A and B are shown apart, each in its own frame.
Chain A
Amino acid sequence: MQRESMEFDVVIVGAGPAGLSTACRLMQQANDAGQELMVCVVEKGAEVGGHILSGAVVEPRALDELFPEWKAQGAPLKTEVTEDQIYLLKSGEKATKIPNGFVPKTMHNHGNYIASVGNLCRWLAEQAEQLGVEIFPGFPASHIIYGDDGRVAGIGTGDMGLDENGEQKDSYMPGMDLLAKYTIFTEGCRGHLGKELIAKFELDKDADAQHYGIGIKELWDVPADQHQPGLVLHGAGWPLSDAGASGGFFLYHAEDNQVVVGLITDLNYDNPHLSPFDEFQRMKHHPLISQYLQGGKRVSYGARAITKGGFNALPKMTMPGALLLGCDAGTLNFAKIKGTHTAMKSGMVAAETIFAALTGGDEGGNDLTAYGENFKNSWVYDELYSSRNFGPALHKYGTMIGGALNFIDQNIFSLPFTIRDNHADYAQLKPASECAAISYPKPDGVLSFDKPSSVFISNTNHEENQPCHLKLKDSSIPLMQNLPKFNEPAQRYCPAGVYEVLENDAGEKVFQINSQNCVHCKTCDIKDPAQNITWVAPEGGGGPNYPNM
């Protein structure tokens, strides 16, 4: 069987907020101008929204511009934020509420909505299809197709029906080449093709090192009398501060007696004993959190890395024949802890730039540097620029002093200088022998849980007999380097129990990769101290099936 190929005007990789907003805005312009435009979106999840995981409190600014009638059109932004509370957790029992006057104004959520970004994407996909976009869930872009001159010419979807050795099974089905004048990469944080593009086109050569966090989230059904729709809690401190790490928790009261709770752990932590999963599980026992969860039932679980380097780490977003947008580039506004509106806007600006180019006779394949200018003139740029110090200040000066600087920067006067943090997250780990071991409490099965039961409710599934999608550049590193030096941190930073160091019958250590557990969070690709793990897209449709996440 031969690979077929098909040509489009624009091919978009990833049906998230950025990709779908690009698609919608492109078709809106084409339909208004009465012009034909072929736009297609490929998505690795079995359905749109199934791989989306976000907090989330969504600022509707971009949606207001894209679909001014979104309320009447039934967009799933239903619960307006009614109250913001910010806490500093001091220990497993104590918490201090930060008075409103001391909160950076970027953390105020008046006019924002508690929503499932997965459901927002499901809705955006419906709008896109009505506008004439072709969306293909279950088809990951597995590789980039380059033209003879080195420009990006499109993507190839992955082959289906290969066995673990890469041999064709009876069900073998070759992938397809999707060629485009412009290819848009919106894979979300640490997209595997985006990573290749950043390296190949040196998109980050003028940017600071990118920074990441891992967000772990659960959705809970809670008793009605503990539920206050619209209440938003954020906070920092315990338990991560015990291990010298930073990050923050969120707890939102959504509609239908549901509460979402999560913990973002900054991936620049240095103690290899730290386990973001277990930090989150023990955090739920804090009385501030447990008061809302007790008597409730956990409904869903998931995890996803976050690109949080912001303005200073933002790479160049254009290259010949392609654009890198949304969290794939790193447009999240960390001062607001929000990325949906900025990702959407980055896509809408791209759609306007591309459409103007194509109607002006552009044949594709160019480096649309006009995007840089248009992006600079948009509110996303202003937002990211004014928040540029937020993350680095916290990284460099810690939650207290960094937080105070941020308060000054965001509320009183903009700091006239830029604070930089140019240390890559993966290089921060100290040897295990130099760090205090962390003993995590055993999960009680009521508020806290183990990894297997958690992954179970993420509805994660991969066809079993297929090539492993977590590639080791050097298969000896986990046991020869990472284990003696860092006690192989993959065992702990992976929130899905993919990586295990086991002992075989002969008493030898074995590094096992349970790739079918993978929830596609990409943390291993980011945090491995040897940068030895490469995440690639597995067979189409594999991965989590998140409902309402």
Chain B
Amino acid sequence: MKILVPVKRVIDYNVKVRVKSDNSDVDLSNVKMAMNPFCEIAVEEAVRLKEAGVASEIIAVSIGDKACQEQIRTALALGADRGIQIETESAPDALSAAKLLKAVVQAEQPQLVIMGKQSIDSDNNQTGQMLAALLDYPQATFASEVKVEGDKVQVTREIDGGLQTLELDLPAVITTDLRLNEPRYASLPNIMKAKRKPLDVKTPADLGVEVGNKVTLVAVNPPAERQAGIKVASVSELVDKLKNEAKVV
């Protein structure tokens, strides 16, 4: 069975996000970038399915400029077999990404697409759902457990207040939640080997997809800074301030 794992290059979760001074976007100049943590979980799940003998090949795909090859290499070091970079100048919106991924699915015919439920940069939580809809595949989002049995897959989902187990016919799209697994470290020998694994570069035109973002980023604003607190001398002063200054009681 072939598994396709889309991975996204995002700002590293350790980095304190800063907004550009003109509020046009988040400042990404010389900032550490990394694979989106949910995508890392997706890669790990695919690798575990391969180690269990369920999957035979793992393809990692990413969309973006040349820099995103770094994240594809990371996926290859973690155990993916080959990579595809879809070269675009800027980050596509969720629908464009889903359309590009749909074209890759149609070309590669994987039985399973495992991807992060959302990326930690834009937090959209849309691409997996859109991809499943465009392909007319069954989907299971927020997976915390994945079991493949024959031509079906059982997915346990994290839902409000409990767990839900679904059974899907393959091929299907699964998006990962945080508790699905704990990704491994890429070892140095595997990073070295990953440099020699095949990585194809394709353009949207190669895939026959026209990319046109329907969503435009207008402005990014940091949250208002918290004001310093004050000490009050007595309960009555507190009550007075709550009543007359904060006007909450």
Contacts and interface: CB of A to CB of B under 8 A. Distances in A.
Nearest to A45: B32
A4 B189 contact: yes
Contacts of B231: none
B14 A459 contact: yes
Contacts of A139: 188
Contacts of B15: 459, 545, 547
B30 A122 contact: yes
Given A136-B188, A299-B18, A171 B32 contact: no
B248 interface: no
Nearest to B13: A461
Contacts of B12: 46, 459, 545
Contacts of B189: 4, 6, 176
B182 A170 contact: yes
Contact of B184 (A4, A171, A299): A171
A171 B14 contact: no
Interface residues of B, number: 21
Interface in A142-186: 157, 160-161, 170-171, 173-176
Contacts of A6: 189, 192
Contacts of B16: 456-457, 459
Contact of A160 (B31, B182, B185): B185
Contacts of A46: 12, 14, 32, 34
A10 to B, nearest CB: 16
Contacts of A545: 12, 14-15, 32
Interface string B26-44: 0001111010000000000
A119 interface: yes
Interface string B180-204: 0010110111011001000000000
Contact of B21 (A161, A257, A456): A257
A119 B188 contact: no
Interface residues of A, number: 34
Contacts of A122: 30
Interface in A348-390: none
Interface in A79-137: 116, 118-119, 122, 134, 136
Nearest to A462: B14
Nearest to B195: A134
Contacts of A175: 188
Interface string B91-134: 00000000000000000000000000000000000000000000
Contacts of B187: 173-174, 176
A176 B186 CA distance: 12
A119 B30 CA distance: 7
A47 B185 CA distance: 15
A461 B15 CA distance: 9
B218 interface: no
A547 B28 CA distance: 9
Nearest to B183: A171
Interface string B153-190: 00000000000000000000000000000101101110
Interface of A: 4, 6, 46-47, 49-50, 116, 118-119, 122, 134, 136, 139, 157, 160-161, 170-171, 173-176, 221, 257, 299, 445, 456-457, 459-461, 545, 547-548
Given A173-B187, A176-B188, 9 more contacts: A6-B189, A46-B12, A157-B188, A175-B188, A457-B16, A459-B14, A461-B14, A547-B31, A547-B32
The 8 closest A-B pairs by CB, nearest first: A461-B14, A176-B188, A173-B185, A160-B185, A545-B32, A547-B30, A547-B31, A459-B15
Interface of B: 12, 14-16, 18, 21, 29-32, 34, 182, 184-185, 187-189, 191-192, 195, 228
25 contacts: A4-B189, A6-B192, A46-B14, A46-B32, A116-B30, A119-B30, A134-B192, A134-B195, A157-B188, A161-B185, A171-B184, A173-B184, A175-B188, A221-B21, A445-B228, A456-B16, A457-B16, A459-B16, A459-B32, A461-B14, A545-B12, A545-B14, A545-B15, A547-B31, A548-B30
